[in-house]
Structure 1
Amino acid sequence: MSDHDEAAAVRPLTLAWVHRHLEAGERVVGVEALHGGITAEMRRLTIGTRDGGTRPLVLRSFVGVADAEDWLHREAGALTECDGTGVSAPRLVAVDPVAEHCEYPSLLMTHLAGRTVIDDEGLETRVPLMARQLLAIHALRPVRQPRAYVALTTADTVVTPQCADASLWAAAIDLIRRPAPPYEGRFLHRDFHPGNVLFDVPPASPADARITGVVDWAGASWGPVDLDVAHCSTHLALLHGPVWGLRFTEAYEEAGGALAADASERLYWLVRSGLAASEEVGAVSKPWREAGKTELTTRAVEERLDAYVTALMHAPA
């Protein structure tokens, strides 16, 4: 077995567990660390098959994460729900949510073709595709309803950027002190954004891009579709500029999605998601810089977040 780097090495107990879930005559012949994630160690395993060929699997391990058991149960359940539907997600191979067999809580799944795309070029094509994909996720009717969503911020934990208008941000914070609006629950991905969507983009024709799959289902939840839409809108605003965050909401409705009927209710979810990002600007932007978007310094992303929240608060009612 060969490793592409030292960080890729699979721990002994985990490797033995993986082998127990392979087909007869198969073995792990290569390991590669996958970068870009925030909470979990990700590795692509190359599996040698009996006929001399290979096939890829993905190993996801949570090291020192307090909520690992819950997240892995959610992900395993979501992958099972997506199997056989129009939503392309990895297929679950095995899960060890409490590290009964592995050194750390782990999940083994199939590998999807495609890659994440964070370039500005081609956004006008990819944003509508993402909106339609998210709508398809919300259309799923799970056999077993996942747990209710968990809010990712409170009024007391928001971090107001130094560059921000303090009074405007105070008004935004007051907005999320209100009780959450009523909603009709739907199946949520809960972390749907460009970093978790895989694309096939022909080099000579970006306009012919297509989605090959959606990954990272550890936050799968039951809740308002507005929350999923707002989360992706925030990431698009930070990655590509505020206008693209606003555009995603429009694209979701153009695809046939129904958001909260009342403008103040839609604003609540959009602002809540934007303010949630204030607490993790550094963690969110680091993978983008590592992927080549070196201009997205923490300060630059904070400025985009401020511009996005300002645009939301100034939007006509």
Structure 2
Amino acid sequence: MGRYLEAGERIVRSDVLQGGITAEMRRLTIGMSDGGTRALVLRSYVDPFYAKHAEDSLNGEAGVLAQLMGTDVPAPALVAVDPTAAHCEFPSLLMTHLPGRTVLDDKALEPRIHLLARQLVAIHRFRPVERPRKYVALTTADTVVVPKGADAEVWAAAIDVIRRPAPPYEGRFLHRDFQPGNVLLDVPASVAADPHITGVVDWAATSWGPADLDVAHCSTNLALLHGPAWGLRFTRAYEEAGGVLAAAASERLYWLVRDGLASSEETRQVSRPWREAGRTELTTRVVEQRLDAYVTALMDMLS
């Protein structure tokens, strides 16, 4: 670690950052030779299950961060990467710390929806020199977890949607986990001032695929955080911001349903960091109920 610091610098504090599911995130406060401080962020794959797959993930993220430097996408700058734990205790990536904070509450949602939409459009317009890997969608008709009390007929119809082949698409640069928990905002104290995005973090799953998939993922997260109507609202906001989705409504709904069903397998994992961030009312059961309502709303659009 010391090899990546400037002369006279040292780590004076290490704080665990909330929100990480697959990796441990730490904010490192660096004492500088002039008496000031600066901050870096260390992502480490501590869990043995995730550490086994860390090399490809960390190399991919390092490559993405390097390409995003100097663009209009506010991503952290790469400092160093140790994908095989040759120098660190765990496979790790070191990057700059960005200002701002995640905002997960229900206040002033409409302007935040538009901020998120405009930022995602900018991400999709980025043309990398080297394309990232093709997107992966692991959920299948056999792995979907139907929430307790859900309408079995509705969910069976939703599962039938993802039995179909994926629609054709024009490839785009995808963040692949774009959602409020990975977007940093500067929220002014004055109610008259508008918030703005200061950073987009967690580029570990970046891939190449349909813009609809990123939009669907953010829509699902908004539906679970704030209610189904906000998930549906984000799709419209993305288009209002200049984003282009699949031409056919049935193709758009394929991706929306696919991501909604994918979330059925991880409601417990997703809801935990939200509760740690202060949304204590978002129990696993509440999130399951919101997912059920969201999937039902999507299927109503198909009928």
Q: Deviations over 1:133-171 (max 9, x none)?
A: 001000111011100000031111000001210011001
Which secondary structure does the structure 1 equivalent of 2:189 belong to? coil
Structure 1 residue aligned with 2:154: 168
Given the alignment of the two structures, is residue 224 of structure 1 paired with residue 207 of structure 2, yes or no? no
Structure 1, gaps ≥5 residues long: 1-17
TM-score between both structures, scaled by the size of structure 1: 0.93
8 Å contact from structure 1 (residues 125, 207) kept in 2: no
1:43 match: 26
Contact 1:57/1:111, CA 8 A, preserved across alignment: yes
Cα 1:206–1:181 shift into 2, 3 Å: farther
2:192 pairs with 1:209: no
Partner secondary structure for residue 107 of structure 2: coil
Task: Report the Cα distance in structure 1 between the residues aligned to 2:178 and 2:98, rounded to whole angstroms.
Answer: 16
1:81 corresponds, among 67, 74, 99, to: 67
Once the two structures are TM-superposed, the CA of residue 204 in structure 1 deviates from its matched residue by 2.8
Task: Find the counterpart in structure 2 of residue 246 from structure 1.
Answer: 232
Q: Which runs of 4+ in 1 moved over 6 A?
A: none
Counterpart in the other structure of 2:175 = 189
Alpha-carbon offset, residue 206 of structure 1: 7.2
For residue 213 of structure 1, give the secondary structure of its aligned residue in structure 2. strand
> Would you say 1:260 and 2:260 are equivalent positions?
no
| Alpha-carbon distance in 1 for matches of 2:247, 2:58 | 34
Amino acid at match of 1:128: H
Query: Pick from 100, 107, 112: which aligns with 1:114?
Result: 100
Aligned sequence identity (%)? 73
Task: Specify the SS of the correspondent of 2:132.
Answer: coil
Aligned length: 300
The TM-score with structure 2 as length reference comes to 0.97
Return the letter of the residue paired with 2:291. Answer: L
CA contact (8 A) 2:250 2:302 kept: no
Q: Give the SS at the match of 2:39.
A: strand
Q: Which runs of 5+ in 2 are unaligned?
A: none
Aligned to 2:184: 198
- Aligned partners of 1:160 and 1:169 also within 8 Å: yes
Question: Once superposed, what is the RMSD of the aligned Cα atoms?
Answer: 1.1
Deviations 1:214-263 (A, max 9, x none): 00000000000000000000000000000000000000000000000011
Instruction: Tell me which residue corresponds to 1:25.
Output: 8
Deviates more, 1:71-80 or 1:113-122: 71-80
1:153 corresponds in structure 2 to 139
CA distance in 1, matches of 2:170, 2:193: 35
| 2:118 aligned with 1:135 | no
Q: Give the partner amino acid of 1:254.
A: E
**Kindly tell me: are residues 157 and 316 of structure 1, through their superposed partners in 2, closer, same or farther at Cα, counting changes over 3 Å?**
closer
Alpha-carbon contact 2:211-2:245 (below 8 Å) kept: yes
